[in-house]
Amino acid sequence: MKYVGWPEEGELVVGKVDDIEDFGVFVDLEEYEDKRGLVHVSEVASGWIKNVRDHVNEDQTVVAKVLDVDESAQQIDLSLKDVNDHQRSDKIQEWKNEQKADKWLTLAFGEDMDDDQFRRIANELLGEFGSLYEGFEQAAIHGYEALEKTDLDDDEQDAIVETARENVSVPYVTVTGYVTLTSPDADGVDDVKEALQAAEGNGEVPDEADLDVTYVGAPEYRIRVQAPNYKTAEDQLEAAGARAVEEIDAQGGEGNFHRERQLEEE
- CATH H-level, domain 173-264: superfamily: EIF_2_alpha (3.30.70.1130)
β-strand pairing of 210-217 with 24-29: unpaired
Q: Domain 86-167 belongs to what topology?
A: DNA polymerase; domain 1 (1.10.150)
Cα angle for residues 169, 230, 128 (degrees, 5° grid):
65
Query: Is the CATH number of domain 12-82 2.40.50.140?
Result: yes
Provide the 3-class DSSP secondary structure of residue 176. Answer: strand
DSSP 8-class letter at 11? -
The domain ranges of the chain are: 12-82, 86-167, 173-264
pTM score of the predicted model: 0.63
HSE, side-chain direction, 13 A CA sphere, residue 122: 19
Cis-peptide, bond into residue 219, ω within 30° of zero: yes
> Are the beta carbons of 63 and 91 closer than 8 angstroms?
yes
Per residue in 176-210, pLDDT (tens digit) is 899 999 888 877 888 898 999 999 987 677 777 88
Please give the helix or strand (H or E) that residue 27 lies within, else none.
Answer: strand 24-29
Separation in Å, CA 84 to CA 65, 79, 145? 10, 11, 37
pLDDT in tens, 109-152: 998 888 888 999 999 999 999 999 999 999 988 888 899 999 99
Angstrom distance (rounded) from CA 160 to CA 140: 9
Same fold, 12-82 and 86-167: no
